[in-house]
Structure 1
């Protein structure tokens, strides 16, 4: 025992950083996480990436992808700071391989820790730090709080805490990770272990003061042809902390919204469900071509009003060929336009093709954007019915109700037999006018009979709060 104690004392004398690195208690971690919760967000972006020709290949490629990354609120007027490099991690790889690449942010939305989805505008990226800024629209700023930065600076071996909002099956999850400082440089600090799941997270010292942002790249993107530079490879793949001094000027003078980014006026749509064609899909459905977007379903909207039909193939949109990869989103391309814009399409039907100009309509609310509300007394979380829920269930267009999206295993709703995915249509014979009315009815004293729809069948379930 004496030798062990002597060894520990020697280690603390020789390595004072070990003496400073005191882990935080679970209670302290929870308290710090709750204190910073209103400052943490998740940024969802639709990004169009154009890549030049790789050596040995005949042409470049273009793809549209939807990505999600953490961020922090940095001002009362809705500015959110995020690691822009994470919006397209493959961009650096293409540059290193010798192919020029450029990414354009088409649209962004911000999800707070309260679960609300807020409209926002992309402002731009700082090429030196590869951090980006978005601004939340005024109606969505309620419930967000800017970070109150501390002035400290860690030393090698110090214990820090990283807080971030990360994706979860039913929304987002507040993640807390203890880390150690692995190196300290004037412009960045190394963090161990790596934090690729917590990019855009907030770095706190042991006293709970926010000090830095978790990011991935300290240098500008390499020029093409830098394949053999291991320093760029290592830096662009590492996770580390950027102190506030590195981005204070960028936040103080944010760029204006780029002119090529359209300001959102609602979600534009055509009134179709489109399938990106591949040779295999074209052969299976008998499509006349194997490139384009096939209309798989047709709803009330601009496409139907113009006489388009299921099976028609959209070949070009606004002069650009719809040569999409299977993973690309056609809806995201449409949503880059504003409601009311007139967009030309080239349409193929059988052996004939024609051009049609469609005026984009306002799309219905998607399930991912719909309002949610918890009913704590029953261990239940509900989501408002959307157009897509009603259509899939064969309900009337004005049918009221909600969708069960989460259940606690020991809650009253689970014990009564409710399942995730059930459509709740009425309580004690009354159709709810809103989620708030539905919650009030469910929590009223006494037992209640719920009318639900499950896999096409209507059932009655009795619950008690």
Structure 2
């Protein structure tokens, strides 16, 4: 049975391969112990213990026949004209319409409960009309989709059985250390049940998703392994094999497995609700860079800097643009990625304490979380280009003009929006290096609104008088805000 190749994300010399309906996989492991463990003499005992709960997954997808004659155009009298008329025409030879075709794909998965819940990758079953699982014993069962999460590429299936099924438990992926032994199982290249072993090569890898937390492993993973389990030496699942980095589609010892502490939360929600229900704080944030920390007089470049507070839970609790979130629900926040994951893992409707740094002092806010999926369903207007204004100011490598009501309307901003529009920018300036471009709007400087050109100049003068090397600007581009720290020493 053929395996269908999927998208490849080019990374340097090779490609990050994701399994679609076939099963491209990676593996990573976690150990449940903190003490050092010697290399095992054999993985045979572990393989025998967990193999009854690992399954091969076969999907079938119906592909409709073409709706029109989209084949090659041939000149009249061509010797191939009759051939293409008969075999490329949607009605087929003799005018008889061709039947829909079926596409099959392979992947892997594992049973997590005796009543038949099965975990795999979403891309393994995406678009499938029929899903069948094959157990190590050779038993085959039809599976139904319970729910799926594209954000983490996880899907939950369910099979019916008259007798309890063997299953494997989740382990604690946070306990895994670089160098710990792990074992992967799956259906590589459609060859059936296969085992590979290696170590955890790295932790906390991020590939392309908002909630990524991958374990990297050198255990051999190939196409068809996607959705299969990565085990620690206690037979617990500490990762779901998802992707590999490869120049040729085969294993070169760089595989990625979604950490079990992410997967277990997702599967619980899919089982209970058929969908995910992630917490939502209601802020737009960015990382605190060293120059931003210096401009804000912060002791360290840590936390999540709030760039905007739209209507939502955070705004209701008093959160402000320019706040730096340093703690969420009693846990320190290192950066934006960490905060996003902490918020998403928290129950919708729960009230949590959020500590922020505001104007060199600490504030604690009590925020009742909303639901992210509902918030993301709300569309945001796009912005347009800003027109030129006669009055301008050349400063910090930029030519600026005031934002008036007409310009705000064209940019999709409220009529009373204020700020300065970048009409031109020197491509050799620090502002350009920091990503500012013509058409961006500077809304704040030094955490104060700027409506006139003199406002910005005043903020620059104040920063110099205070001995600060940089000035923090709040910049909006197509409605999206971010903070940028620019050096005032160029002036």
If the length of structure 2 is used for normalisation, what is the TM-score? 0.32
Q: Which has the higher contact order (CA 8 A, sep 6+)?
A: 2
The structure whose residues are more often helix, as a share, is: 1
| Greater C-alpha Rg | 2
If the length of structure 1 is used for normalisation, what is the TM-score? 0.33
